[in-house]
Copies of this chain bind each other. A is one copy, B any other.
Amino acid sequence: MKTSSAHELYVALVHYPVVNKNGETITSAVTNLDLHDIARASKTYGIRQFYVITPLADQKELTQKILSHWISGSGAVYNHIRGDALEIVRIRDSIQIVLEEIKEKTGQLARTVVTSAKKNSRSIGYADLKSKLRSDTPHVLLFGTAWGLGPEILEMADYILEPIMADSDYNHLSVRSAVSITLDRLIYEQPISL
């Protein structure tokens, strides 16, 4: 099995609209290691494109500098494995623009999926979403930075995934861990034991 063509699945890391500690809507800063870790996980699991969403000009410029360093700059000479993954990153202003881009590419409106550390009445399980992914319909997994996605994004999303470890006493994974585990649950096919 080559996973690179398994699903019409996209990942988006959202820096606006997200909330801060006090629940206020903010634009968060792009974190260097988010780019690397999530690009490497996305590439490993055959994700079509990893969108970094920020409307801020200086943040877009900084992100582009990091990408260029590893894709074509001196970083590429030192370690091309980083660039191979970062090539699937696209910097875009908003979720809306990402949806328009996917529609242009695939001819279909993508379904949006959000993850949340809190259980929601609309939450669906991983097995349920996994079965929905076995189609040509594009899906975008939206992940929030800072203290999570703005409430309007949860409201507009087609699906809300249940918390990763709903029963744990502690459920505060980094977004890097959350993306990795979510992709594994949705894409990895356990080998049948003989």
B33 touches A2 (CB 8 A): no
* Binary interface encoding of chain A residues 149-192 relative to chain B, with 1 for a CB under 8 A from any of its CBs, else 0: 00000000000000011011111111011011100110010110
Bound CA–CA A190/B184 (angstroms): 13
Inter-chain contacts of A125 with B (CB < 8 A): 191, 193
| A84 contacts B by Cβ under 8 Å | yes
Partner among B1, B85, B128, B170 whose Cβ is within 8 Å of the Cβ of A43? B170
Partner among B43, B84, B172, B180 whose Cβ is within 8 Å of the Cβ of A44? B172
A170 touches B85 (CB 8 A): yes
Number of copies: 2
Considering the complex, give the chain B residue whose CB is closest to the CB of A185: B184
- Which A residues between 74 and 92 are near B, CB-CB below 8 angstroms? 79, 81, 84-85
Considering the complex, give the chain B residue whose CB is closest to the CB of A81: B172
| A40 contacts B by Cβ under 8 Å | yes
Asked if A174 meets B127 with Cβ closer than 8 Å, knowing A3-B168, A181-B181, the reply is no
| A41 contacts B by Cβ under 8 Å | yes
B127 touches A165 (CB 8 A): no
10 contacts between A and B (CB under 8 A): A2-B167, A41-B173, A41-B174, A43-B172, A44-B172, A45-B168, A85-B170, A85-B172, A127-B190, A165-B188
A contact set with B: CB distance below 8 Å: 1-4, 21, 33, 36-37, 40-41, 43-46, 79, 81, 84-85, 125-128, 164-165, 167-174, 176-177, 179-181, 184-185, 188, 190-191, 193
- Which 7 pairs, one residue from A and one from B, show the smallest C-beta to C-beta distance? A177-B180, A37-B174, A43-B170, A181-B184, A180-B180, A1-B167, A81-B172
